[in-house]
Amino acid sequence: MSRPPSMQPQMCGPWELKERLGTGGFGNVTLWQNKESATQIAIKQCRQELSAKNKGRWSLEIQIMKRLNHMNVVAARDVPEELQKLATNDLPLLAMEYCQGGDLRKYLNLLENCCGMREAAVLTLIQDISSALTYLHGMRIIHRDLKPENIVLQQGEKRLVHKIIDLGYAKELDQSSLCTSFVGTLQYLAPELLEQQKYTVAVDYWSFGTLVFECITGFRPFLPTWQPVQWHNKLLQKQVDDIVVYEDLTGEVRFSKHLPNPHNLNKLLAGELESWLQMMLRWSPKERGKDLIQRTSCFCFDELSRILNLKLVHVLNMTSAEIFTYSVQPQEDVASLQERIAQDARIPPANQELLLEAGLALEPHNSVMQCAIDYSVCLEELSLPLVFLFDRSCYSYEPQFTPRVLPENIRFVQNELKRLLPYSSQRRTWGQAWHTIRALKEDWQRLQQGQKVKNEMVSMHQRLKATLEFFSTSLHIDIDKYQEQRATGIGTTHGRIKYYSAHTHQFTSHSAQKALWVMTS
């Protein structure tokens, strides 16, 4: 937490200065809290030394913020009367909602995200920011400075909500359909901005693609440590579908069309987002974000919506520790899923035993949607619904686990034990090692969870079998006693004892029947 600025008053009526939240392109942002209502508000104050041009931008930011209304764009608020005196010049203050989760950069810097964010977190971020950009572009506004520092997190009812902030560099397309001013943060800027060429909303596509790549992998896609001039010259060699340019541990620059490992995405989703990133990170702004065949505008957001609406089922093969991911449709049943599993796991559908985490078995006629994932709620990776696959033909087996492929940096270090790596490479290698260890631990936890589900089902089966056997035995005793009563009668004392004995067994069988009903309901 930053300390309050020393030159500012600590109290303005009921409002107390809590901390400095950050410094934007035009001024400082501070957090104020009302001591009476506990209401919190962020106040952005323009610096006095701004040029006339930047003062115009500041006024434009306030105008834009006040007319925007979207859940993924931070909302403007009315400046409390007591705080109006903070404006030490002729420029107004900007009051905004306060988001307690901090910015995305802080979140990305957490150790757990050293090789990218969790799958569900990536998808919810993509959903939120794409929705915000669609809204801004629909309002004919280009953000031009999209980066992790300009995305803040707020805890919603079900999950974290991401909001775009800092529209200080935003440009209204109504002023000119093509813009030429050089603004924004270099590491996320589109090539045409670096070249000071005319640009359109496609600059936000590049920044968004760069941002998403970093959230998936933990690092920026194009030579993040290089200076702009060298960076630009090298990227001119990029093929249209290349989404990453990096230096390997030998210093050689490599180009690739694929997401580098490690990351936290399943194979199906990784393939979908690879294709989407290839579209978003095209060098030519005329081709970026578009369908090259039909040249459809805003195609990138339509394609992203399709990806986000995929219904996925994760199946853990308990014999190999592999996770198979399938895209399913609402009309599909489990039988169709089993056919696909048979191709990947080489276990015939008749031998497949599919168990949910609750211990319930999936039957072929069931709807496959009962095990599909709903990403509308951001969940932890280990709590995502899994289907556990067992082979019915094997009563006992020793699983032949498929070993994880070690990341490139770790393999290099194993072969070059005495080579001293630069600090940035060491840091990346340490992160990959930590990520690999965590992944192995989670593999073990999933297998343990699957075996626990299996053991509970076996235990329930044994209890049910014992109850059925007890019921069957009681029933046979009752039948024998009835036959004996029929032959000897029940008039004697001895007969009455037999009669009561028989009815005792009858009551016992009724209890067993009730127990059976409880076990099977």
- Average pLDDT score over residue span 40-44: 90
Determine the pLDDT at residue 358. Answer: 81
Q: Catalytic annotation on 78?
A: no
- pLDDT one-digit tens code per residue, 287-331: 999 887 766 667 899 999 999 999 999 999 988 888 999 999 999
How much is the mean pLDDT over the chain?
83
The answer to whether residues 245 and 223 touch, using CB atoms and an 8 Å cutoff, is yes
- pLDDT one-digit tens code per residue, 49-67: 667 777 777 888 888 888 8
The CA-based angle 48-49-55, given to 5 degrees, is 75
- pLDDT one-digit tens code per residue, 210-267: 999 999 999 999 988 888 788 888 999 999 999 999 998 888 999 999 999 999 999 9
- pLDDT one-digit tens code per residue, 339-365: 999 999 999 999 999 999 888 888 999
Determine the pLDDT at residue 497. Answer: 47
Q: Which segments of 93-156 does DSSP mark as H helices, in order?
A: 104-108, 119-138
Which residues are paired to 15 by β-bridges?
12, 34
Q: Of the candidates 162, 158, 151, 154, which has an alpha carbon nearest to the alpha carbon of residue 127?
A: 162
Residue range 311-391, CATH number? 3.10.20.90
d(CA 301, CA 205): 10
Report the CATH fold assignment for 102-308: Transferase(Phosphotransferase); domain 1 (1.10.510)
Residue range 1-98, CATH number? 3.30.200.20
Determine the pLDDT at residue 377. Answer: 55
d(CA 98, CA 74): 8
pLDDT at 177 over 50: no
From the list 145, 166, 242, 478, the catalytic residue is 145
Q: Of the candidates 464, 462, 470, which has an alpha carbon nearest to the alpha carbon of residue 510?
A: 470
Domain limits, the chain: 1-98, 102-308, 311-391, 462-520
pLDDT at 503 over 70: no
Determine the pLDDT at residue 499. Answer: 46
d(CA 144, CA 193): 9
Provide DSSP, 467-500.
Answer: HHHHHHHHHHHHHHHHHHHHHH-S-SHHHHHHHH
Domains 1-98 and 311-391 share a fold: no
Determine the pLDDT at residue 127. Answer: 95
- What pTM did the predictor assign? 0.84
pLDDT at 168 over 50: yes
- pLDDT one-digit tens code per residue, 62-95: 888 888 999 999 999 988 888 888 877 778 888 9
